[in-house]
C-alpha cells in the first residue's frame, strides 16, 4: 500500500478556514433581529379597518376604539384617492381592541 503524505499547507488552510467561520458566527450571534413590519405604538390596543367600494382601504391603530376608527377613515380616504377609488364611500368594516 502506498500512503500519501499530508501537505503542510492543507492543515494550515483548514485551521484558517475553521477560525474564520467561528469568528463570523460569533460576530453575528450578538446582533438583535429587526422588525420587518410596522409595529403599533406601545399602548395602542385598538385597531380599525376602513374600506371604500373601490380602491384601497386603510388600517390604523389607536389608544381607543374611536381614535382607531378616525385614523382608519382618514387613511381610507387618502389611499382611495391615490389608487383611483371612491374616497367618499369609505366605511369602517372592522374595529376591535385587544385584551
DSSP 42: T
Domain that holds residue 90: 46-97
Q: 76 in a domain, yes or no? A: yes
Q: 84 in a domain, yes or no? A: yes
Residue whose C-alpha cell is 492543507: 10
- Report pLDDT digits (tens) over 59-81: 999 999 999 999 999 999 999 98
Q: 82 in a domain, yes or no? A: yes
The proportion of the chain whose per-residue pLDDT surpasses 90, expressed as a percent, equals 39
Q: Give the chain's domain count.
A: 1
Q: 5 in a domain, yes or no? A: no
pTM as predicted: 0.55
Q: 53 in a domain, yes or no? A: yes
| Distance of alpha carbon 38 from alpha carbon 27, whole angstroms | 27
Residue of higher predicted confidence among 24 and 72 = 72
Q: 63 in a domain, yes or no? A: yes
Residue of higher predicted confidence among 76 and 13 = 76
Backbone φ and ψ of 37, nearest 5°: -145, 160
3-state secondary structure of 59: strand
Amino acid at each position: 500500500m502506498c500512503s500519501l503524505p499530508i501537505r503542510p499547507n492543507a492543515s494550515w488552510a483548514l485551521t484558517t478556514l475553521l477560525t474564520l467561520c467561528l469568528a463570523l458566527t460569533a460576530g453575528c450571534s450578538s446582533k438583535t433581529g429587526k422588525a420587518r413590519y410596522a409595529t403599533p405604538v406601545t399602548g395602542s390596543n385598538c385597531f380599525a379597518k376602513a374600506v371604500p367600494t373601490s380602491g384601497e382601504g386603510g388600517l390604523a391603530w389607536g389608544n381607543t376604539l374611536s381614535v382607531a376608527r378616525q385614523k382608519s377613515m382618514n387613511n381610507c380616504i387618502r389611499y382611495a384617492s391615490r389608487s383611483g377609488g371612491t374616497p367618499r364611500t369609505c366605511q369602517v368594516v372592522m374595529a376591535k381592541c385587544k385584551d
